[in-house]
Amino acid sequence: MILAPKTIESLLQHNKDWAKERVREDPDFFKRLSGLQTPKFLWIGCSDSRVPANQITGTDPGEIFVHRNVANLVVHTDINVLSVLEYAVTQLKVEHIIVCGHYGCGGVLAAMGRQSFGVLNKWLRNIKDVYRLHEPELMACPDDVARGRLLVELNVREQVLNLAKTSILQKAWKHEHRPVLHGWVYGLEDGLIKPLVDMQPGHDLHPLYRYEGL
């Protein structure tokens, strides 16, 4: 009973049923949530429809602050991700930030090739740079499938590092000793998350990236 064809009307109908069911289970559900959100986690994931943050982690509304974009990138000139990061770290005071990539990521695979995708080229160039940084390791893979999987993992690691490079994170690490950063990869084939890397507050970054006077 998956992937039944849905209409736009059916989405709205489902929403009505869902809201009714929530209130039946817990009459204060919406009253409580509309008053305050106190998520402990920030999720930075891929826009891919098959990787829904809440479902795969068993979290309810109010538990995860979510940002998603193509190939889960943390780009230093992207005002969108930086705004999410600033708000989650400084205002919501999240304890953990998760960058979750996924095997079979169309964005990552596209970045491995030379096909032009218009404006998306500029976004995916960030992943081409990750490829160039790790070229010997990637070239040592037996085939393109293994290479694609490795690039998905390297991309996640790089985005975790990109988080650590921000003054937003370094300030929170210095004054509040949080949040912990996590790099995960989700498997579309088995629904399982593989933890790749954890980065604790105060991680020993290359000195060039460490800001003074924060």
Active site residues: 46, 48, 50, 102, 105
Q: According to the binding rule CB under 5 A, does residue 46 interact with Co ion?
A: yes
* The binder of Co ion chosen from 48, 65, 103, 123 (CB under 5 A): 48
Phi and psi at residue 102, to the nearest 5°:
-150, 145
Span of 25-33, 38-46, 126-134, 147-155 interacting with Co ion by CB under 5 A? 38-46
Tell me the C-alpha distance between 94 and 198, whole Å.
15
Residue with smaller CB distance to Co ion, 108 or 172: 108
Widest Cα–Cα separation across the chain: 58
Nearest approach, Cβ of residue 5 and Co ion (Å)? 24
Nearest approach, Cβ of residue 130 and Co ion (Å)? 14
* Alpha-carbon 38 to chain mean position: 19
Nearest approach, Cβ of residue 41 and Co ion (Å)? 20
Q: According to the binding rule CB under 5 A, does residue 153 interact with Co ion?
A: no
Residue with smaller CB distance to Co ion, 84 or 105: 105
User: What HEC string does the chain produce?
Assistant: CCCCCCCHHHHHHHHHHHHHHHHHHCCCHHHHHHHCCCCCEEEEEECCCCCCHHHHHCCCCCCEEEEEECCCCCCCCCHHHHHHHHHHHHHCCCCEEEEEEECCCHHHHHHCCCCCCCCHHHHHHHHHHHHHHCHHHHHCCCCHHHHHHHHHHHHHHHHHHHHHCCHHHHHHHHHHCCCEEEEEEECCCCCCEEEEEEECCCCCCCHHHCCCCC
Tell me the C-alpha distance between 164 and 127, whole Å.
18
Nearest approach, Cβ of residue 106 and Co ion (Å)? 6
Q: According to the binding rule CB under 5 A, does residue 127 interact with Co ion?
A: no
Residue with smaller CB distance to Co ion, 48 or 153: 48
Span of 39-47, 60-68, 86-94, 205-213 interacting with Co ion by CB under 5 A? 39-47
Residue with smaller CB distance to Co ion, 73 or 181: 73
Residue with smaller CB distance to Co ion, 98 or 105: 105
Span of 14-22, 103-111, 134-142, 188-196 interacting with Co ion by CB under 5 A? 103-111
Q: According to the binding rule CB under 5 A, does residue 105 interact with Co ion?
A: yes
Nearest approach, Cβ of residue 50 and Co ion (Å)? 8
**Residues in touch with Co ion (CB under 5 A):** 46, 48, 105
